[in-house]
Amino acid sequence: MSPYIVIISTGSELTAGRSVDTNSGWISNQLFELGWKVKKFVTLPDDPNLIFSELQSLQNLSKEIPVLVIMTGGLGPTEDDYTLETVLKLTGKTSYSVEKAKLRLVKIYEARGKEYKDILPNVFRQTFVPEGCKTLDNSVGIAVGFIENIGENSYLVCMPGVPSEMTEMFKRRLVPELKKLYPRENLLQKTKWLWNIGESLFQNDFIEPNRNEFFKDAEWGVTANRGYIKCIFQSTNEELLTTIISRLESQYPKIISDDVFQFVHEQLLKEKYTISVVESCTGGLLGKKLTEQAGSSAYFMGGFLTYSNELKSKLLEIPIETIETYGAVSDEIARVMVDGLCQKTGTDYGISITGIAGPLGGSDTKPVGTVFIGIKDPIGKTIVHHYVFPGNRESIRENASNTALFLIYQSLKGKDV
Amino acid sequence: MSPYIVIISTGSELTAGRSVDTNSGWISNQLFELGWKVKKFVTLPDDPNLIFSELQSLQNLSKEIPVLVIMTGGLGPTEDDYTLETVLKLTGKTSYSVEKAKLRLVKIYEARGKEYKDILPNVFRQTFVPEGCKTLDNSVGIAVGFIENIGENSYLVCMPGVPSEMTEMFKRRLVPELKKLYPRENLLQKTKWLWNIGESLFQNDFIEPNRNEFFKDAEWGVTANRGYIKCIFQSTNEELLTTIISRLESQYPKIISDDVFQFVHEQLLKEKYTISVVESCTGGLLGKKLTEQAGSSAYFMGGFLTYSNELKSKLLEIPIETIETYGAVSDEIARVMVDGLCQKTGTDYGISITGIAGPLGGSDTKPVGTVFIGIKDPIGKTIVHHYVFPGNRESIRENASNTALFLIYQSLKGKDV
């Protein structure tokens, strides 16, 4: 039995439009993986009356059906953080300071060379939770999260609004608790990525024709990302899931992948390959993505940012005439960039990116979105790929660097790239 | 008299977390400029029952106070677009097709070489509105928006969910109507950034002592970001706002700034300075940030990613012994990195970043978060700054690259860095 799920985000910066709430969508996606659909998102300013009346009406609803409320924000140290006080008013409970969280706070301050007495009293507020609740400890920040019973089979979960704290707490602490609170039959899930294809085309070409055969006993969902869509399939029938995935693989052999970020990281470590990059239009974004995971120093050596033609020439010894002949955004320049890169760095893999991120600089033959990506593999073969990515400047740069990671994936998989 | 404002977004792709709602924040920001604060965002799936019960409870609320509901989405041609039918159920009205919109639709089809008979009947659905409402014509797409009276001084506005259609309709058609419905005085706003200071310390040191003097006739808000907090002040009293800002400037002379991203971009363009970077722990993130704005090729030349010590030595000719003596994360190495960089690139400004992003690699003397940032300015002076940034790997990298931008800002402003 699934609860009626509502996600609440609090923060005046959200309702004022100064920040965009990404927490609710992220939580909803994660809950989908547990087999649950969210009924409603609510975003409220840091106003204790508004928060209270929203929670109260959900508490009333819990007299009729099981309700699960997941609320983020308002657990910080400042006076406009009202979550705890509102929950106490709702439940009529008192609060206490979680000893472990207090010790952790003191340690963090000491590590910064400060003493106990330097800690402002309001900072300690973050270690308080309602008595008798289930606590959710925070391994990233300070504020402690908690789960409070608000009715029969109904719970209110409070977590910090800082995404890095919330996501870690959600995965490590909340998911196991939710599975205990709302046990359900084992839902299996498989996820695949498809590259450079739109959601609606995928739905038209894969979901519709297979609707009767597959999607009576399986659910599907698609998340659009920059360069790829993530296709998620869920069912309690493992065999059916396997059939769906193999149909997907045979329909899209050249553009299908698993989680590229994870695979590239693990496989480069495993094969002890090194990699370097030379970036033009992405300005460092590929390097940033290749160093997101701890331990990336084992394979990522570095490289060059050659945004200007002058530096393409100076740092990689590409004659200015060659650049002028072919244009900086061309198959030829992507090729000499990656070859020059690997000569300088001596890594097993090399990647070059040169393109037109726009909004200006496009032409009839090379419109905005045109990107050439060169990849040199460990046996020394260089291939240059040509793309025209959609969207604005940010989207084109994200597309280009994600697609570069897909090319490394394909090469590591031994597939044609 | 301000109405109680609620913004509703409908769309199952939103509550499933497959898309992020940017409409609500945008609308809220626009309303803020009209002097209105939004009380609540609600996001609902394409479910007519959930939409109806939400609207009904807001209609009930309008018996007590003036309510303004602005709803986006659900006006399209497909079977999961329920807005019109739900509004008709709420008001007990019938609907009619807006003649002007119908003609426009036919014209659009003709322009694409199609005839009247090619238009699928459900496409015409988008031209229908409730009888007796105020219509909001759509100059970008097809669906007609409308304003419906739902109680005394209370209105329900329905607009399409496509951002380009909604924003145009909002500015051109809705704002003049809202000004007529709810006239009020002008609210002013000023924003400043403070660097490497926590929200709670700011509140303690600035807001509390000035509460009586400043914040009876002015509102304040703080948004925490990586490396800085954004402080926003609002009042109808311009003189008071000026006094608040000058007090802020005199209290925090060394860490205050305007929008650093915008200023650095504009000032580098204006002064015709060039810049290059050499990044270790940030892996390209600073370069990415410096190339986010169109036109950055006028100042950003490129640089080096020297993630490994080997490449620090190879590309910048720093002797391996020097790195071993001081450690790659040190004042000395940040200095020779930026000096080596500028020798190779010849740019006016140079920035080097070397640090420990973690989670591993920290020590007692150099904990995780330790970052050295070197800046060489156009007169050739090099200064290295030492920081210990809080948070996880991602946070430390964001902090480091944002702070590097702040150092460029300070130098461009002629302030001590």
pLDDT, chain A, mean:
93
pLDDT range class, residue B417, cuts 50, 70, 90: low
**Residue contact A16–B24, C-beta within 8 A:** no
Residue A27: C-alpha distances to residues A12, A142, A169, A193 (Å): 20, 20, 11, 20
- Collapsing DSSP states into helix, strand and coil, what is residue A15? helix
**Residue contact B40–A15, C-beta within 8 A:** yes
For chain B, positions 187-206, list CB contacts with chain A under 8 A. Answer: 198-201, 203-204
Please check the confidence at residue B193 and state whether its pLDDT lies above 90: yes
**Residue contact A311–B276, C-beta within 8 A:** yes
**Residue contact A29–B18, C-beta within 8 A:** yes
Please check the confidence at residue B112 and state whether its pLDDT lies above 80: no
**Residue contact B42–A41, C-beta within 8 A:** yes
Which residue of chain A comes nearest to B362, CA vs CA? A111
CATH entry, A262-412, from 3.40.50.300, 3.30.420.40, 3.40.50.720, 3.90.950.20: 3.90.950.20
Q: Sort out which chain B residues have CB atoms less than 8 A from A284's CB and list them.
A: 277, 279, 283-288, 291, 305
pLDDT range class, residue A36, cuts 50, 70, 90: confident
Task: List the domain boundaries for chain B.
Answer: 4-181, 188-257, 260-412
Shortest distance between the Cα of A404 and any Cα of chain B, in A, equals 15
**Residue contact A15–B276, C-beta within 8 A:** no
Residue A47 tokens read as 């106003």
CATH entry, B260-412, from 1.10.3470.10, 3.20.20.80, 3.90.950.20, 3.90.1150.10: 3.90.950.20
pLDDT of residue B127: 95
ipTM over 0.95: no
- Collapsing DSSP states into helix, strand and coil, what is residue A256? strand
Class of domain B4-181: alpha beta
Which residues, in sequence order, are CB contacts of A130 under 8 Å at separation 6+?
A84, A87, A88, A91, A93, A94, A95, A146, A148
Whether chain A has a CB inside 8 Å of the CB on B43: the answer is yes
Q: Sort out which chain A residues have CB atoms less than 8 A from B198's CB and list them.
A: 77
Mean pLDDT value across residues A358-382: 94
Shortest distance between the Cα of B63 and any Cα of chain A, in A, equals 17
pLDDT of residue B271: 96
Mean pLDDT value across residues B131-149: 94
pLDDT of residue B330: 98
Whether chain A has a CB inside 8 Å of the CB on B229: the answer is no
Shortest distance between the Cα of B146 and any Cα of chain A, in A, equals 23
For chain B, positions 234-293, list CB contacts with chain A under 8 A. Answer: 276-277, 279-288, 290-292
Q: Sort out which chain B residues have CB atoms less than 8 A from A283's CB and list them.
A: 284, 287-288, 290-292, 296, 300
User: From the list A17, A43, A123, which residue is nearest B40 (CB)?
Assistant: A43
Sign of CA dihedral A76, A79, A81, A86: positive
Helix (H) / strand (E) containing A411? helix A393-412
Q: Sort out which chain A residues have CB atoms less than 8 A from B308's CB and list them.
A: 297, 300-302
- The three-state (H, E, C) secondary structure of A91-158, written as one string: HCCCEEECHHHHHHHHHHHHHCCCCHHHCCHHHHHHHEEECCCEEECCCCCCCCEEEEEEECCEEEEE
Amino acid at A201: L
Contact A75, A158 (CB under 8 A): yes
**pLDDT per residue over A185-238, tens digit each?**
677 889 999 999 877 788 889 998 999 999 999 988 877 788 998 898 988 899
pLDDT of residue B30: 86
pLDDT range class, residue A184, cuts 50, 70, 90: confident
- The three-state (H, E, C) secondary structure of chain B, written as one string: CCCEEEEEEECHHHHCCCCCCCHHHHHHHHHHHCCCCEEEEEEECCCHHHHHHHHHHHHHHCCCCCEEEEEECCCCCCCCCCHHHHHHHHHCCCEEECHHHHHHHHHHHHHCCCCHHHCCHHHHHHHEEECCCEEECCCCCCCCEEEEEEECCEEEEEECCCHHHHHHHHHHHHHHHHHHHCCCCCCEEEEEEEECCCHHHHHHHHHCCCHHHHCCCEEEEEEECCCEEEEEEEECCHHHHHHHHHHHHHHCCCCEECCHHHHHHHHHHHHCCCEEEEECCCCCHHHHHHCCCCCHHHCEEEEEEECCHHHHHHHHCCCHHHHHHHCCCCHHHHHHHHHHHHHHHCCCEEEEEEECCCCCCCCCCCCCCEEEEEEECCCCCEEEEEEECCCCHHHHHHHHHHHHHHHHHHHHCCCCC
User: From the list B24, B200, B360, which residue is nearest A123 (CB)?
Assistant: B200
pLDDT of residue B220: 85
Percent of chain A with pLDDT over 90: 77
Query: Are both B188-257 and B260-412 of the same fold?
Result: no
**pLDDT per residue over A98-145, tens digit each?**
999 999 998 888 877 788 888 888 889 999 999 999 999 999 889 999
Please check the confidence at residue A417 and state whether its pLDDT lies above 60: no
Give the best residue of A14, A41, A309 to mutate against chain B (max B CB count within 10 A): A41
Please check the confidence at residue A50 and state whether its pLDDT lies above 80: yes
Please check the confidence at residue B396 and state whether its pLDDT lies above 80: yes
Give the best residue of B33, B78, B261, B291 to mutate against chain A (max A CB count within 10 A): B291
pLDDT of residue A1: 65
Contact A353, A400 (CB under 8 A): yes
Class of domain B188-257: alpha beta
Give the best residue of B7, B20, B26, B41 to mutate against chain A (max A CB count within 10 A): B41
Residue A221 tokens read as 């969902």
